[in-house]
Structure 1
Amino acid sequence: MKAYIFIIVAILFFSGNFIVGKLMVDNIPAFTLSFLRCSIAFLIMVMLAQKDWKNHRGVLLRNWKPIYALSLTGIVFFIGLVYFSLHYTTTINASIVEASTPIFASILGLILLKERLLFLQYVGIIISFIGVLWIVTSGSVQQLFSLQFNVGDLLMIFAVLAWCVYSILVKKHMGRLPTKGSLMVMLGMACITLLPFVVVEWIVLDIAINWDTSTIISVLYLGIFPSIIAIICWNKGVETVGASKAAVCLNLIPVFTTIQAVLILNERIYIEQLLGGVFVIIGVLLTTKLRSPLKVSHSLLKKQEIN
């Protein structure tokens, strides 16, 4: 029970990322918000990863290219696109689309890594893809054929694709890298990479951030809770119940996000969101239930490092 409490707490913080991000995107532009979040997380990881840096500095410096590729896909593009998408779509839609990540990961794995899939996995991919299409077209077949999509949902799909590329890089490179040390370096690289985007945002948008108490608390939340504390809770839970059982709990992210969106943001739930979400979750369960426990464990643990 204690382990599942840790997992639920982690999922609450992960879903809270959508809520706080939605609250902040009208006050702080996407890449600036990403930069602030990464900067706070980086400062915390500097304190937590001192031992890793001391013992494995040579390994980290020699592997700066793959680490930067991980930073670019998993932090810069993924987090930036998530916050950017929240300008145009609801937190409910964004969380449901993110729940389809295993589906897109399976498709890219099939194309790039030649991974073999079982028949039911193909069925799961098709079902989830129908669910995503249903969401981005608001359940309108006419929008589908006229290629009229919600821009925010499309940006969220690109964010998911960026994460899937990151996951492939994780599989290829992270086995030889220290976890805390590599995360610290990735966050540092992300801060440097995001800085030019931040400058452009400030020049083009003529930003005037309202630094009131709620803004400060929100930015600190993003840098501490989904970035650090949620990781610790998630890993403690996975150590006890195993990654396969914990994986099922990830489907609670859109559920918790929806509840918080209705209570905090006063968002409305529409039938197309419910139907699309059901299709996505059924497809994900079919696809991931048949995967190797070792692969599930590896990908899930790495995903939650910077979600």
Structure 2
Amino acid sequence: MREDRAVKALLAAVVVIWGLNVVMVKFLVGHFPPITLAAVRIGAATLLLLAILVWWRGGQHPSFRQIPARSWLYIIGAGVSAIFLHQTTLAMGLQTANASTGSLILALNPLVTGLLAYFLFREPLTWNRVLGLVMGFSGVFLVVAGDSMLEGNGRFLFGKGEWLVVAAMLFYVAGGLFVKKAAETVSVVAITAYMHAVGTLCLAVASVFETQERGGVTWPADWFVWTVLLFSAWVATGLCGIWWNNGIQKIGAGRTAMFLNGMPAASLVFAVLLLGERMIWIHAVGFVTVLIGVYLGTMNPRRPVANLPTSLPSKQVGH
């Protein structure tokens, strides 16, 4: 029970830091092309993660050669989907998609993850989690609706950019399920380090094409820009990546994903504090609803809504 509370506390911290990271990335996009920024950020995070892996190995974390071939498939799948494809489609989508709409789409992650974890891994689907999903999504909707009210349009547009954000959300969900399978035989530190290495290689190749298309990249000379980038890479991406994957391993993909409901609210708080954006009453209602939803959705499983038939063959991600 105490370990469960510690895992949840770390996941809550991750959500707060990721909320701040949205503001930081928004700042950094003004100084780097989107895919190149992702390549530099993920690359810096990978260096830190590989250093941690070497430092903490001590026989606990498997070396490159000790990881089974099937686990490597899951790790590569996580790196390609949750790192490369997620970062690429999100960056491309948010170039044209409304930020409020994008936040709402990304908030579907816990719902999709919970349902897939139920069908693929037989993680229990309790009434508490169902209610938590509904309340979490409703709270996110209120936060996003508040953004729309402030912008004065009060409506959501759904075009090419929005569909790219949908793809980004699905890629991240798929990556979490790959991590779930890989964590059965490999430590989360090794998984996180190697999946980020895979993502870095893919992003580096993509950034070469982006640079050629733009005719080159002008690197910023301001030290503050690079400080923000390194904090985003080492803390928000590297350390938080380990804590997040540890949550998937310890309490399951579905319960871990519930914490993502709080990310749009955290992002809005930091946007108000750091970017001077406004907050109205509907945001406060949304925050409370999100927090209640996360609490309900991450409670220890009790009475399941339904049990999967035991005659069904177990499924594996990627098959």
- Match of 1:257? 267
Q: Is 1:28 aligned with 2:32?
A: yes
- Match of 2:167? 158
CA distance in 2, matches of 1:29, 1:36: 11
Q: 1:195-232: CA deviations, max 9, x gaps?
A: 22112211223353341223212221221111234457
Moved more, 151-160 or 135-144: 135-144
Which residue identity lines up with residue 271 of structure 2 in the other structure?
A: A
- Contact kept in structure 1, 2:46 and 2:238, CA below 8 Å: no
1:209 corresponds to which of 218, 224, 228: 218
CA distance in 1, matches of 2:155, 2:202: 36
Structure 2 counterpart SS, 1:184: helix
Runs (5+) with no aligned partner, structure 2:
1-5, 303-319
- Match of 1:299? none
Label 1:81 to 1:56 Cα distance change in 2 as closer, same or farther (>3 A): same
CA distance in 2, matches of 1:103, 1:243: 16
Label 1:281 to 1:163 Cα distance change in 2 as closer, same or farther (>3 A): farther
TM (norm. structure 2) is: 0.68
- Match of 1:70? 78
- Match of 2:21? 17
1:274 CA displacement: 6.1
Residue correspondence of structure 1 range 1-307 to structure 2 within 5 A: 10-50=14-54, 51=57, 55-60=62-67, 62=69, 63-88=71-96, 97-110=105-118, 112=120, 117-119=125-127, 121-126=129-134, 135=144, 138=148, 148-149=157-158, 154-213=163-222, 214-230=224-240, 252-269=262-279, 283-289=293-299, 291=301
Moved more, 213-222 or 84-93: 84-93
Label 1:160 to 1:234 Cα distance change in 2 as closer, same or farther (>3 A): closer
CA distance in 2, matches of 1:107, 1:208: 42
CA distance in 2, matches of 1:95, 1:227: 19
CA distance in 1, matches of 2:21, 2:75: 24
Structure 2 counterpart SS, 1:177: coil
Structure 2 counterpart SS, 1:117: coil
- Match of 1:303? none
Structure 2 counterpart SS, 1:208: coil
CA distance in 2, matches of 1:46, 1:192: 14
- Contact kept in structure 1, 2:31 and 2:220, CA below 8 Å: no
Structure 2 counterpart SS, 1:175: coil
Aligned residue pair count: 283
Aligned-residue CA RMSD in angstroms? 4.3
1:279 CA displacement: 5.9
Runs (5+) with no aligned partner, structure 1:
293-307
Structure 2 counterpart SS, 1:23: helix
- Give the structure with the higher percent helix: 1
Which residue identity lines up with residue 43 of structure 1 in the other structure?
A: L
Structure 1 counterpart SS, 2:30: coil
CA distance in 2, matches of 1:32, 1:208: 9
